[in-house]
């Protein structure tokens, strides 16, 4: 059973030339396992899923599942702005040995709340796997309201959580306060993980954990253990790094940061472009300040 808490890393997709670098992807998975991540989320926004061809997308997920070897749960991103295409994707990915599915609110076409409910109901009905909703209005152009998320949680037993990236703590409070047993709220904003946990979130689906899985996982664990002061210290230690990882569109900065650790190359896929040269020293300094040891 998928245990949705702690630090799930929204892992990057490394590229080499025109293709996903599967050798580097395996190295990234091993790095996450070694450094205490609680789960892996390939092929999300951070994994540049929107630019992966259909075959590449499935190959990336297969590679992560194979390298994880059951040591960490794998919950890939699924979903498009077409319900029929999303259902087809859910069925294909469900057959790959994954542990759950992260399904984004349909983007660009701005569905109503009723449309969202029907969309996610169709996805939930297409699989026996746990499904986690993904609300990120900044990318989709529309916000899933708490009432919609809670209605889906009550109606479908395999809708087990939500990645909340609205940035609205009132909304998080409403969902966490009204959630049925077994439904988990996960932060979708690294800078808000600790504040969200203080009102009931169980952890984070993290970009920062690509380069700092141990401290992000530790911060979540400290809070769950009731050591909120120590968790706050970790939050403040990580905060400059988090801010630097979002000075340009995600995952541009975090791919550069991962390259400094020797995990992969820094290249995103077009239409994203390499990290701006003048911003690089600030990110590197923030990594060092967060206690990340860079290869000499």
Question: Which residues have a catalytic role annotated?
Answer: 134, 163
What is the CA angle 138-111-201, rounded to 5? 50
Quickly count: other Cβ atoms within 10 Å of residue 108's Cβ: 11
Spacing of C-alpha 134 from chain mean position: 9
Q: Give 3-state DSSP helix, strand, coil % of the chain, rounded to 5.
A: 50, 10, 40
Q: Which DSSP category does 43 fall into? A: S
Q: Which DSSP category does 129 fall into? A: S
Structure tokens that stand for 244 in this block = 């630097």
User: Environment class of residue 252 by beta-carbon count within 10 Å: exposed (0-12), middle (13-18) or buried (19+)?
Assistant: buried
Q: Report the candidate in 37, 23, 50, 39 with the shortest Cα–Cα distance to residue 268.
A: 50
Q: Are 238 and 196 in contact (CB under 8 A)?
A: no
Q: Is residue 222 classed as helix, strand or coil in its secondary structure? A: helix
CA dist., res. 198 & res. 245, Å (int): 23
Residue ranges in the chain assigned as alpha helix (H): 22-34, 54-68, 83-94, 113-125, 137-140, 146-155, 169-178, 193-198, 213-224, 228-244, 252-260, 280-289
Q: Are 28 and 12 in contact (CB under 8 A)?
A: yes
């Amino acid at each position: 059973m998928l245990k949705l808490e702690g630090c799930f890393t929204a892992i990057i997709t490394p590229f080499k030339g025109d293709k996903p670098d599967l050798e580097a992807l395996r190295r990234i998975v091993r790095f996450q396992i070694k450094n205490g991540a609680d789960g892996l989320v390939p092929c999300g926004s951070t994994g540049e899923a929107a630019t992966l061809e259909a075959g590449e997308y499935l190959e990336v997920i297969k590679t992560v599942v194979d390298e994880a070897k059951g040591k960490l749960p794998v919950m890939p991103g699924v979903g498009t702005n077409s319900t029929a295409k999303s259902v087809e994707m859910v069925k294909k990915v469900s057959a790959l040995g994954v542990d759950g599915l992260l399904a984004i609110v349909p983007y660009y076409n701005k569905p109503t709340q009723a449309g969202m409910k029907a969309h996610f109901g169709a996805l939930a009905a297409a699989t026996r796997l746990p499904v986690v909703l993904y609300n990120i209005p900044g990318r989709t152009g529309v916000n899933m309201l708490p009432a919609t998320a809670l209605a889906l949680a009550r109606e479908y037993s395999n809708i087990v959580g939500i990645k909340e990236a609205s940035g609205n703590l009132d909304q998080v409070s409403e969902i966490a306060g009204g959630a049925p047993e077994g439904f988990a709220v996960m932060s979708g904003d690294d800078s808000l993980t600790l504040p969200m946990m203080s009102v009931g979130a169980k952890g984070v689906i993290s970009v920062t954990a690509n380069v700092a899985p141990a401290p992000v996982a530790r911060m979540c664990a400290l809070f769950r253990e009731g050591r909120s002061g120590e968790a706050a210290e970790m939050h403040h230690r990580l905060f400059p790094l988090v801010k630097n990882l979002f000075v340009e569109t995600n995952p541009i900065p975090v791919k550069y940061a991962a390259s400094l650790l020797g995990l992969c190359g820094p290249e995103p896929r077009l239409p994203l472009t390499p990290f701006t040269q003048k911003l690089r020293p600030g990110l590197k300094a923030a990594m060092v300040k967060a206690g990340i040891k860079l290869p000499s």
